[in-house]
Structure 1
Amino acid sequence: MSGAASLGRNCRRQVAALAACAFLASAGPAFADDSFVSLAKQKSLTDTPDGPKEQLRKFGIDVDVWITQFYQGIPAGALDRTARYGGKMDGFLRLDGEKLGLWQGLKFNAQYEHYFGRNVNRQDLALVPVNAAQAFIERDGYHSALSMSVTQELGEHLSVTAGKFNMMTLASQTPLVGGGGIDTFMNRAFALPSTGIGVSSPESVADRLIVAPPYLLGAVVALKTSLVDLKLMVADPRNAQQPRVIERPFERGVGAGVVATVPVELGGLRGFHTFRVAYSNARGFDLDDSGERRPLVARLLGITKKGFRFASYAIQQYFQQSEADPNVGWGLFTLATLSDGNPNPIRWSMLVGLAGNNLTPGREDDRWGVGFYHYGLSQPLLDGLEARRITRRSEGGVETFYNFAVTRWLRLSGDLQIIDPWNPRRARASYLGLRLQTKF
């Protein structure tokens, strides 16, 4: 843990220096000249006008490094009033094949993640992790992950992508609500919504019930038209963090999903309706058997059931938009999911809330949100646990955050969550968090 403490101290010193620089950039004419104003407005700390990053982009090479730090505690509901500090580093590499002298339409994306420090996930026995960005790492330790994908654009509207996908990064592209846990909501319910075809494995490090693996190995075909955006994804339903998934893909089955997003304008304001259906032929634990008192060997092997089925419907509707940029605004988001309930442990779930940008002049880069979620556990699972004298229930909670853009590359967030955990013997818990993100 000495390495984590040292890294944490270094990060805090670095952030203090960056904050001082940002203050000078925004303190007014007495402190700021044109260079400081430019520093405050650029997208990342090192992305200076005509600088190295801009020069690299001319050759088709785009590089970003983000460091996100978390300090999160449980002021009510936990026995020991736990508070933890940790964070993650994200490195992004994007290559344009045509600019590199290869061929038109070829793209390459890579994301490297390194985690440090500790987190409060599982400290209050909540079912859904309260810090999604650190939910899939070794407990109180270090972890690194690498995701890579190759895209071939086959025209203006059609593309094919294959590789290992970071599902939280993909979720971050969702309008209004975002995802990924590093700049909008922190709770996994919002940051990594269910896909319903995940297969839990004892060797994986994840949350209590895998309803959406954070990494998937597979391929996506995307078709964009003026009426609808269609995506077909075929993937190994297991968490691709496991080396065995890379070494022996699809040995436990295959998952497939179709996503249709329909843009709809309401009163001149943008909106999106997204329909998803998914199926996996993998085998999962038969929840109808979870309450049976069988011999030890039979219980360890488990009685399996083939086939995971899932459907969802989501809405993102802007209530206000910036005249200068229609992607900047705020509005309503909702998501409802439904599964077969066996072997899926989650029968249904629901999200609803308001989120987006602060449209006050000068604060358009700020983001905020408030949302409610509920995860309805499968009745066979609840009955099976009850037969073993383990009382559980469905879980729900609320979260609100405000992400203050000190500059475009330095952001400070405050976060509050209140959760009724799935263990009814646990009191309602509250979680307070601070999050500092620096984009280099």
Structure 2
Amino acid sequence: MLKPIHHYLIAVLSLGFCAAGLLHAEEPAPAIGPPVCPPLLEQPSLPATPAPPAAPSPGYDGCLLERTKLTGDWCGARTSMLEHGMVWDLDTTNFYFGVANGGREQRDTFAGHGDYVMNWDVSKAGGPEGLFVKLRAEHRYGQSISSSTGSFLPATVLTSLPAPDYEDLYITNLIFTQALSENFAVFAGKIDTLSGDANAFAHARGKDQFSNLGFVVNPLMLRAVPYSTLAAGFSVLHELQPIFTFTVMNPVESSRTTGFGELFEKGVTLTAEARLPYELNGLVGHQVFGGVWSSRNYVALGQDPRVVLPNVPIERQSGTWALYWNADQYLSMYDDAPTKGWGLFARAGVADNQANPLAGFVSAGIGGDSPIRSRRQDTFGVGYYYLQTSDKIGVFAERALGPIGDGHGVEMFYNYAVTPWMHLTGDAQVLHPEVKNVNTAFVLGLRCKIDF
């Protein structure tokens, strides 16, 4: 029985009226806050690496229906700051999701996430050549649907970040990158790790492509890699793209702190990742090979905001590790839009099952830009994942949850560009929980992202 279905109809109508009101507004609301600079090239493994600043975006100006940002050029301030190397990307993403059948309970919830990112090429403001700064502040609000599905992987991972029980604004990324040449860069600072394990069709932080964690990042690495923490490392670049990144990081979650108070007190985490581009019949693809290792002692499952697990004690374990792989391969590029197309993606990984509750993972699917010629700005995706739980740690989780086994799920979405700055996504998920006394959950949802 689709108990909350009338709420979805209300949500659709409400968002439609909201969009209509925005489209017919005489003036956009002014943005309050700092400016925006050409984005630094994001590394496939954790922090960001440098890239030349993008040209000033013509999308800042224009009428409300055509500009790329709702608040426009800020009376010329945005373009002026861009000329000095600074770019601000500000957005909010709202989720109205519900469990229509199965799961722990049938209900619908509203939650959202604000993401405020500044990238600065300091040399454009007269600073040292090759110095880049990235700042991210973020917050969440509302109530996530993820705890109602019964699945260990959250259906909407972004609604739990940066800290699931708090709605305050936190700085989760303040990273300084210095390019020493066109082929080598070093970085240090506070990083958020959701930008790692990059994939062309299954990534994007859970707000532009898939919403479920299983299609955003490989979950096996999360035991060793906190969401936000202090770190340093280096990247090897090829044509200004990172092809190898090595990172040393504090193994303690530091979203709500500076991280200096507990720096390396509980050990260290090391990560290494290679992302290798190639072409197959003239179509671009990537292969990612990575590994993580931590020396931290683990005495409980903990409450990582990116995984839905009870905080129960386990037998003390020293250290953990995980190996992972992912790939993306374009199968078609559009003649009328040469930079757009669609293709295949896949992920796989294995992990230590003594300290990590998640022992194995595979996922695969298709995604990309809409094949409809008049809707090239839309995106779509369909994916399947399988998650193997640890038989060593499962016995501890069973004390709180009941019988535990492997889980799997399917997600499909279509992201519709209402305007260049507003995207409305319909999402459906079928999740077979790891908790065996919970029925398969059928999840429906709407996601609305607005770029300011």
Identify the residue that residue 333 of structure 1 maps to in structure 2. 345
CA contact (8 A) 1:106 1:153 kept: yes
The amino acid of 1:404's aligned partner reads Y
Secondary structure in structure 2 of the residue aligned to 1:40? coil
Identify the residue that residue 151 of structure 1 maps to in structure 2. 177
Q: C-alpha displacement at 1:57, in angstroms?
A: 0.4
The structure-2 alpha-carbon separation of the partners of 1:239 and 1:325, relative to structure 1 and needing over 3 Å to count, comes to farther
Q: C-alpha displacement at 1:12, in angstroms?
A: 9.7
The alignment status of 1:372 with 2:398, answered yes or no, reads no
Secondary structure in structure 2 of the residue aligned to 1:87? strand
| Higher mean displacement: 240-249 or 91-100 | 240-249
Distance in 2 between residues matched to 1:406 and 1:385, nearest whole Å: 44
Distance in 2 between residues matched to 1:278 and 1:304, nearest whole Å: 20
Identify the residue that residue 351 of structure 1 maps to in structure 2. 363
Q: C-alpha displacement at 1:366, in angstroms?
A: 0.6
Q: C-alpha displacement at 1:407, in angstroms?
A: 1.6
Q: C-alpha displacement at 1:261, in angstroms?
A: 1.5
Identify the residue that residue 166 of structure 1 maps to in structure 2. 192
Q: Which ranges of structure 2 fall in alignment gaps of 5 or more residues?
A: 1-13, 27-58, 302-311
CA contact (8 A) 1:71 1:86 kept: yes
Give 1:141-220 correspondences, 5 Å limit: 142-146=167-171, 147-170=173-196, 174-194=199-219, 196=221, 198-199=223-224, 212-220=225-233
Distance in 2 between residues matched to 1:323 and 1:312, nearest whole Å: 34
Identify the residue that residue 405 of structure 2 maps to in structure 1. 393
Q: C-alpha displacement at 1:256, in angstroms?
A: 0.9
Distance in 2 between residues matched to 1:85 and 1:387, nearest whole Å: 31
Larger Rg: 1
Identify the residue that residue 382 of structure 1 maps to in structure 2. 394
Identify the residue that residue 123 of structure 2 maps to in structure 1. 98
The structure-2 alpha-carbon separation of the partners of 1:126 and 1:401, relative to structure 1 and needing over 3 Å to count, comes to same
**What per-residue deviation string (whole Å, max 9, x for no partner) do you get for residues 157-198 of structure 1?**
211121222222456x53121231111111111123235263
Aligned with 1:236 (options 250, 261, 282): 250
Aligned with 2:316 (options 264, 282, 304): 304
CA contact (8 A) 1:401 1:415 kept: yes
Identify the residue that residue 279 of structure 1 maps to in structure 2. 293
| Higher mean displacement: 87-96 or 138-147 | 138-147
The amino acid of 2:287's aligned partner reads H
Distance in 2 between residues matched to 1:132 and 1:421, nearest whole Å: 16
Aligned with 2:21 (options 9, 17, 20): 17
Identify the residue that residue 258 of structure 1 maps to in structure 2. 272
| Higher mean displacement: 268-277 or 356-365 | 356-365
| Higher mean displacement: 302-311 or 263-272 | 302-311
Distance in 2 between residues matched to 1:35 and 1:127, nearest whole Å: 41
CA contact (8 A) 1:260 1:275 kept: yes
The structure-2 alpha-carbon separation of the partners of 1:63 and 1:426, relative to structure 1 and needing over 3 Å to count, comes to same
| Higher mean displacement: 187-196 or 343-352 | 187-196
Aligned residues between the structures: 396
The alignment status of 1:53 with 2:78, answered yes or no, reads yes
Secondary structure in structure 2 of the residue aligned to 1:57? helix
TM-score normalised according to structure 1 size: 0.81
**What per-residue deviation string (whole Å, max 9, x for no partner) do you get for residues 117-166 of structure 1?**
22212123321111100123565752322121111111112111212222
Secondary structure in structure 2 of the residue aligned to 1:122? helix
Distance in 2 between residues matched to 1:80 and 1:315, nearest whole Å: 35
| Higher mean displacement: 162-171 or 180-189 | 162-171
**What per-residue deviation string (whole Å, max 9, x for no partner) do you get for residues 297-332 of structure 1?**
xxx986422221211111100011245765422110
Distance in 2 between residues matched to 1:79 and 1:396, nearest whole Å: 16
CA contact (8 A) 2:203 2:217 kept: no
Distance in 2 between residues matched to 1:395 and 1:244, nearest whole Å: 36
Identify the residue that residue 222 of structure 1 maps to in structure 2. 235
Identity value in percent: 26
Q: C-alpha displacement at 1:394, in angstroms?
A: 1.3
CA contact (8 A) 1:69 1:85 kept: yes
Q: C-alpha displacement at 1:382, in angstroms?
A: 2.8
The amino acid of 2:185's aligned partner reads S
Q: C-alpha displacement at 1:242, in angstroms?
A: 4.8
CA contact (8 A) 1:197 1:279 kept: no
Secondary structure in structure 2 of the residue aligned to 1:239? coil
Secondary structure in structure 1 of the residue aligned to 2:393? helix
Secondary structure in structure 1 of the residue aligned to 2:134? strand
Identify the residue that residue 67 of structure 1 maps to in structure 2. 92
Identify the residue that residue 329 of structure 2 maps to in structure 1. 317
Secondary structure in structure 2 of the residue aligned to 1:133? helix
Distance in 2 between residues matched to 1:53 and 1:371, nearest whole Å: 38
The structure-2 alpha-carbon separation of the partners of 1:301 and 1:21, relative to structure 1 and needing over 3 Å to count, comes to closer
Identify the residue that residue 407 of structure 1 maps to in structure 2. 419
Distance in 2 between residues matched to 1:343 and 1:417, nearest whole Å: 29
CA contact (8 A) 2:86 2:121 kept: yes
Distance in 1 between residues matched to 2:74 and 2:333, nearest whole Å: 29
The amino acid of 1:245's aligned partner reads G
Kindly indicate which of the two structures has a greater share of residues assigned to strand. 2
The alignment status of 1:120 with 2:150, answered yes or no, reads no
TM-score normalised according to structure 2 size: 0.79
Distance in 1 between residues matched to 2:258 and 2:118, nearest whole Å: 25
The amino acid of 1:427's aligned partner reads N
Identify the residue that residue 26 of structure 1 maps to in structure 2. none
Distance in 1 between residues matched to 2:130 and 2:150, nearest whole Å: 47
C-alpha RMSD of the superposition: 3.1
